[in-house]
Structure 1
Amino acid sequence: MGLPKFARLKGVHEELSCNLYVANCGPAVGLTLDCIASAFSAYGTVKGVYPADESGCRVIVSYYDESSAQSALKALDKNPCHDLGGRFLHIRYSVERPPCQVRDPDTVQVSLKASEMNIPGIYLIHDFVSAQEEEQLLAAVDARPWHNLAKRRVQHYGYEFCYDIRNVNTQQKLGDLPSFVECIIEKIPLFRKLHEAADISLDQLTVNEYPAGVGLSPHIDTHSAFEGSIYSLSLSGSCIMEFRASVGDRYMNNSDYSSNYARKAIYLPPRSMLLLSGEGRYAWQHYIPHHKVDMVKDTVIRRGSRRVSFTFRKVRKGPCKCDYPQFCDSQQVKQEIGSY
């Protein structure tokens, strides 16, 4: 997934442009894109601010007119910018490269609402917790020990999830869910208007911390491990979650696929809660691409330094009897036994 394509011009006296290439400026040096846009808006209406490359310390500031870009360049190039903490900026004009007409086969349209994906059983509520609650939740888990995996850190509550067998040991309960998640649990009934799954009592929590660029491999949560509904709260950082189903499955639209899979994607902003239930939970794989930069509706969004997810589930005490046997480990085992 690429960035907008811009070419930096060599000198300030060459071709005028509405776009400025700004060095020593960006998330890697502690400046958000919104903060940069605010500072440059003093010289005209800013159309957008975009990462210039993967470094995080160079951006493209785009105006609607060349005169605004020219004023900003003259005022700020090699001069301290008061609104950006006195940082000295290095600025050149930039021109946007013509977009490639060939569609990248690895891209997928990213939805902002779950209804846009048209996958039954998937719902998303924005601002599920407040900014203050987010801060308190992050402080609570950071005060507790983390378990290190290969690329991320985790905490388990209620029951431990065993990654080697992708299941839980129901005979070893760790205890009740921690009190600091009560602000989340009490809001679960908000989903009752969307799905009856909100009535399920949740007893297992996995907290995952994803560093920038780290994703999650495609998988379906083990049917025999958990009841149908899975709730995942995103904190601190955003990401794109993709869903896929094999070509030929009756659970996908054959006109909407890439390679051998139907693919859908949704943007998960901080403080949003995602519900996976029914077909979306049982029949579609979900995963997080390993990207540092995501393209959402033609907007470039750089992932934060960390994303922390709180995933709530209900541990299953018996075999799964869902309507999706081809994906169900409980029913596949039963079929294998019956074939002898």
Structure 2
Amino acid sequence: MGLPRFKRPTGECSESSSNLYVANCGPAVGLSFDTIAFVFGTYGEVRGVYPADESGTRVIVSYHEESAAQSALKALDGHPCPELGGRSLHIRYSVQSIAKVQVNDSSVVSLEASELKIPGLYLIHDFITAKEEEELLVAVDSKPWQNLAKRRVQHYGFEFQYDIRNVNTSQFLGELPQFVSPILERLSSFQNLGYTGSVVLDQLTVNEYPPGVGLSPHIDTHSAFEEPIFSLSLAGPCVMEFRKYSTGVWPTNSESICDGEIQNSDKTSNFLRRAIYLPPRSMLLLSGEARYAWHHYIPHHKVDIVKDNIIRRASRRVSFTLRKVREGPCQCEFAAYCDSQK
């Protein structure tokens, strides 16, 4: 599925069209696409509101009729708009280019883990505050990063070795850093959602994703980590997709390894698919079937569609993945997906 892409106006006067380039307007200044569409809908039927660029402060308002765009430009350009927070908008005509922005496919994206009906999957929104988020980002940015092919990582407790997709339990890096202590103390809040397992964690991987960079479909190696697995999202949002294949997916001739994760061609396997929106400061928990039998995946997109809203990825997304290193082989009930039992 693709979104239309528009050309930015290059002069004070552009050729009249049914599309308007609107500056000082967008999510970054507190204006949702729905609100913008409602206000501009006063002048005619709006076909859609789209991000004009990655700034979040400029949008394209596309009308069905050119006359509606003319009326809106005349009424709103350069004038404070009370319905849009009193902001003065700067508007020019824009034209659609041939290219399209690629976004997630037609899969329905849920906002709550319960909607996915995946046993063992939980999500808490606003698990930390905005101030705590800022403090965590400052803390990790003061530490050295390790560069992978498309993203940067940090490891604490034990290093995840991407070449073997496992950890060396004899190489202990030390206790988890002090800056994650408030997070660990708060994990018991998942019991309010029905999770009853114990929480003892000794490994942390911090990932930094630039715009457009995601994560290939994979299950965290069974023999490397126990359950549960926690993932805290910071700085930017993303859509995470879950896939349950008809058989366990382990490296074969139809698969490749990318940054130590299994990347399936999807040409030979049938799978169930679910997707969920992970906003900044949310904490995801994978346990039971969700941890052992479902691949998780972040599409390599710069733009996602969530409940008919267009959400552009931020300049960075940072995730904290907290796990417990396993000692000995895995004895889980999901043998088809388990490297210890294959």
Which among 288, 304, 326 is matched to residue 316 of structure 1?
Answer: 326
Distance (whole Å) between structure 1 residues aligned to residue 339 and residue 141 of structure 2: 35
* Contact in 2 for aligned 1:81/1:89 (Cα 8 Å): no
Asked if 1:272 corresponds to 2:282, the answer is yes
Question: Taking every aligned residue pair, what percent have the same amino acid on both sides?
Answer: 61
* Contact in 1 for aligned 2:304/2:311 (Cα 8 Å): yes
**Residue deviations 1:309-336, cap 9 Å, x none?**
000000111211000011111112xxxx
Which among 29, 34, 37 is matched to residue 35 of structure 1?
Answer: 29
Q: Secondary structure at the match of 2:74?
A: helix
* Contact in 2 for aligned 1:224/1:316 (Cα 8 Å): yes
Distance (whole Å) between structure 2 residues aligned to residue 151 and residue 323 of structure 1: 34
Q: Secondary structure at the match of 1:187?
A: helix
Shift of 1:109: 1.0
Amino acid at match of 2:39: T
Shift of 1:7: 10
What are the within-5 Å matches in structure 2 for residues 67-106 of structure 1?
A: 72-74=72-74, 77=77, 89-92=90-93, 106=105
Distance (whole Å) between structure 2 residues aligned to residue 222 and residue 244 of structure 1: 16
Distance (whole Å) between structure 2 residues aligned to residue 154 and residue 281 of structure 1: 21
Distance (whole Å) between structure 2 residues aligned to residue 137 and residue 212 of structure 1: 20
Asked if 1:122 corresponds to 2:116, the answer is no
Shift in alpha-carbon separation, 1:329–1:55, aligned structure 2, 3 A:
same
**Residue deviations 1:261-317, cap 9 Å, x none?**
211110000000000110011001111000000011111100000000000000111
TM-score (structure 1 length as normaliser): 0.76
Asked if 1:163 corresponds to 2:159, the answer is no
What are the within-5 Å matches in structure 2 for residues 123-162 of structure 1?
A: 123-162=122-161
Shift of 1:182: 1.3
**Residue deviations 1:124-174, cap 9 Å, x none?**
100000001001000100111111111101111111110111111111110
Amino acid at match of 1:50: Y
Shift of 1:37: 3.6
**Residue deviations 1:216-252, cap 9 Å, x none?**
0111000011112100000000000011122478xxx
Shift of 1:35: 1.8
Shift of 1:43: 12
Shift in alpha-carbon separation, 1:105–1:90, aligned structure 2, 3 A:
closer
TM-score (structure 2 length as normaliser): 0.76
What are the within-5 Å matches in structure 2 for residues 165-314 of structure 1?
A: 165-193=164-192, 194-197=194-197, 199-247=198-246, 260-314=270-324
Shift of 1:70: 5.2
Distance (whole Å) between structure 1 residues aligned to residue 130 and residue 107 of structure 2: 30
| Runs of 5+ consecutive residues of structure 1 not aligned to the other structure | 96-103, 250-257, 333-340
**Residue deviations 1:180-200, cap 9 Å, x none?**
111211110001132123x22
Shift in alpha-carbon separation, 1:43–1:180, aligned structure 2, 3 A:
closer
Shift of 1:105: 10
Q: Secondary structure at the match of 2:106?
A: coil
Shift of 1:71: 5.9
* Aligned residue pair count: 303
Shift of 1:36: 7.3
Distance (whole Å) between structure 2 residues aligned to residue 54 and residue 42 of structure 1: 17
Amino acid at match of 2:116: M
| Corresponding residue of 2:60 | 60
Q: Secondary structure at the match of 2:204?
A: strand
Shift in alpha-carbon separation, 1:41–1:74, aligned structure 2, 3 A:
farther
Distance (whole Å) between structure 2 residues aligned to residue 156 and residue 242 of structure 1: 24
Q: Secondary structure at the match of 1:156?
A: strand
Distance (whole Å) between structure 2 residues aligned to residue 43 and residue 129 of structure 1: 32
| Corresponding residue of 1:51 | 51
Asked if 1:330 corresponds to 2:340, the answer is yes
Shift of 1:73: 1.3
Shift of 1:41: 7.5
Distance (whole Å) between structure 1 residues aligned to residue 130 and residue 56 of structure 2: 25
CA RMSD of aligned residues (A): 3.9
Distance (whole Å) between structure 2 residues aligned to residue 8 and residue 170 of structure 1: 54
Q: Secondary structure at the match of 1:331?
A: coil
Amino acid at match of 2:270: N
Shift in alpha-carbon separation, 1:70–1:311, aligned structure 2, 3 A:
same
